[in-house]
Structures are given as C-alpha cells and as structure tokens.
Amino acid sequence: MTTDKQQDQPNQLSQVEQESGMHSVVTDWAADKEVFNMPWGKLMMWIFLLSDTFIFSIFLTSYMNVRMTTTASWPSSSEVFALTIAGHHIPLLLIAIMTFILITSSGTMAMAVNFAYRGDKSKTFWLMLATALLGASFVGMQAFEWTKLIVDEGIRPWGNPMGAPQFGSIFFMITGFHGLHVSCGVIYLAIIANKVRKGDYDKKGFHIVEITGLYWHFVDLVWVFIFAFFYLW
C-alpha cells in the first residue's frame, strides 16, 4: 500500500538545509526520520552521558549534604592529601600530577579523533593507546593514593582518626566510582584502538573513535568536579 511515489509530499521536511541558529534547531526537531545529524551510536552515547551526569551529580550532592550535616569535624584537605618529599610537606602534589595526566589524556584523545577522521589509522591507534596508558597511570596513582590513605593515615570507609567517618566513606565511594569509569574507559579505548588498527572500521567510518572520545572527555570533566569538591574545598 505504501509505495515510493509520494516522495513529493510537501511536508516541509528535508528541503530546508541552509538555516542557522534557532531556525535550524526548529527545523531539525520538526523534521522526519532524525532529529540530530549524527550516527545512532553517538547520540546514544550523549544520552548515556546525560544519565551518568545525573549519577555523579547525585553523588556529589550527597557528599555536600553529608559534609554539611555531619557534626564531627571534616579532615583538612591540605593535611590529608599531602605528600612528604625530602622532608618537605607539599599539599596536593600527587593530585596535581594526576589531574595534569588526565587532562593531557583528553588532549591525546582529541588528536586521535582528528586523525581518525583524516583516515590516518596508525596515528589514531598510537594516540588512543597513549590515551589509554595515561588513563591507566591515573588509575595506578589513584591506587597509590588510596594505599597511602589507608595504610599511612588509617582512613577506612567506616571511620578515620581525623574526624567525621563520612570522609573516608564518601571519598572512597566517589573516587572509586570515578576510577571504575576510568578503568572501563581504558579497556574501551584499548579495544577500539585495536579494532582501528585491524581496519574494522574502514567501511563503516571512524565515528566510533569520536564516540569513545566523548566518553573519555566526560570522565575527565567529572574528575574536574571531583577534584574541586574534594581537594579544594
């Protein structure tokens, strides 16, 4: 019953291409077939990240709530998160390095996306691998930080010698959840990088690299908030 003869149906759908600003938004949302001019997987990643944003927002809101309502004193961040190197007490040293590494990895990821769209598979592979390695070193340093907090400072999820027991629990939970995201990202990057190298996307196109990149940038962005709320407050 439905043939293709009705292609001339005047439904203001696809004829408007060169519009800008609000008009193009309205046109996109009023069109048939698709709202966003992007592959399905990319849109799905955006929606997933929106959902994940809610998870991290709720974690951080809970953290703020817990920190403000608890009656015991909250440990000072410049004390807890300090390294003592050659007798000097340097606050936030480790975390500064970790943040730097993660931000750098966002840079290598962005370059990987660029080279992927240019079709340079080898550069894409090495840049993605570099991103994964930077991510892995971030997780490694986090493990070091956790060890220091647990072994040297005696901080446990259920209590610590410096004050409010919620400090340890919320810190380990949120940084742990973030670390889990980074670890998954490292595995995801490694798999996609390998597939890029093998040429699995030669036909389909290299959108997948950008999708992986979206996830990776998101994890970095979340880290900026965690950094600000835990280490600078």
Partner 1 sequence: MTHVAIADQIEEDHEPTGFVRKYIWSQDHKVIAIQYAITAIFVGLIALVLSGMMRLQLGFPDSFSFIDPSSYLQFVTMHGMIMVIYLLTALLLGGFGNYLIPLMVGARDMVFPYLNMLSYWTYLLAVIVLVSSFFVTGGPTGAGWTLYPPQAILQGTPGAGKGIILMLVSLAIFIVAFTMGGLNYVTTVLQARTRGMTLMRMPLTIWGIFIATILGLLAFPALLVSAIMMLFDKLLGTSFFMPAIVSLGESLEFSGGSPILFQHLFWFFGHPEVYIVALPAFGMVSDVIATHARKNIFGYRMMVWAIVAIGGLSFVVWAHHMYVSGMNPYFGFFFATTTLIIAVPTALKVYNWVLTLWKGNIHLTVPMLFAIGFIFTFTHGGLTGLWLGNVVVDLPLSDTYFVVAHFHMVMGVSPVMVLFAAIYHWYPKITGRYFHNGLGKWHFWLTFLGTYAIYLPMHYLGFLGVPRRYFAMGDSNFIPESAYSLNASISVSAIIVGVVQLIFLFNIIYSLKYGKKAPANPWGATSLEWQTPDTPPRHGNWGKTLPVVHRWAYDFSVPGAKQDFIPQSVANEDVEMNDGSTFTGHKED
Binding site residues, partner 1, CB under 8 A? 1-4, 6, 9, 11, 13-14, 29-41, 43-44, 47-48, 50-52, 54-55, 58-59, 62, 65-66, 69-72, 157-159, 164-166, 168-170, 173, 177
Q: How far is the CB of 26 from partner 1 (least distance, A)?
A: 11
Q: How far is the CB of 4 from partner 1 (least distance, A)?
A: 7
Q: How far is the CB of 87 from partner 1 (least distance, A)?
A: 35
- Comparing CB distances to partner 1, the nearer of 29 and 87 is 29
Can you tell me the distance from the alpha carbon of 232 to that of 213, in angstroms, rounded to the nearest whole number? 27
- Comparing CB distances to partner 1, the nearer of 33 and 88 is 33
- Comparing CB distances to partner 1, the nearer of 39 and 91 is 39
Q: How far is the CB of 133 from partner 1 (least distance, A)?
A: 29
SS3 per-residue string spanning the chain: CCCHHHHHCCCCCCCCCCCCHHHHHHHHHHCCCCCCCCCHHHHHHHHHHHHHHHHHHHHHHHHHHHHHHCCCCCCCHHHHCEEEECCEEEECHHHHHHHHHHHHHHHHHHHHHHHHHHCCHHHHHHHHHHHHHHHHHHHHHHHHHHHHHHHHCCCECCEECCECCHHHHHHHHHHHHHHHHHHHHHHHHHHHHHHHHHCCCCCCCCHHHHHHHHHHHHHHHHHHHHHHHHHCC
- Comparing CB distances to partner 1, the nearer of 3 and 20 is 3
Can you tell me the distance from the alpha carbon of 219 to that of 180, in angstroms, rounded to the nearest whole number? 10
Q: How far is the CB of 135 from partner 1 (least distance, A)?
A: 23
Can you tell me the distance from the alpha carbon of 226 to that of 59, in angstroms, rounded to the nearest whole number? 10
Q: How far is the CB of 170 from partner 1 (least distance, A)?
A: 7
Q: How far is the CB of 67 from partner 1 (least distance, A)?
A: 10
Can you tell me the distance from the alpha carbon of 84 to that of 79, in angstroms, rounded to the nearest whole number? 10
- Comparing CB distances to partner 1, the nearer of 63 and 115 is 63
Can you tell me the distance from the alpha carbon of 24 to that of 35, in angstroms, rounded to the nearest whole number? 11
- Comparing CB distances to partner 1, the nearer of 34 and 89 is 34
- Comparing CB distances to partner 1, the nearer of 13 and 224 is 13
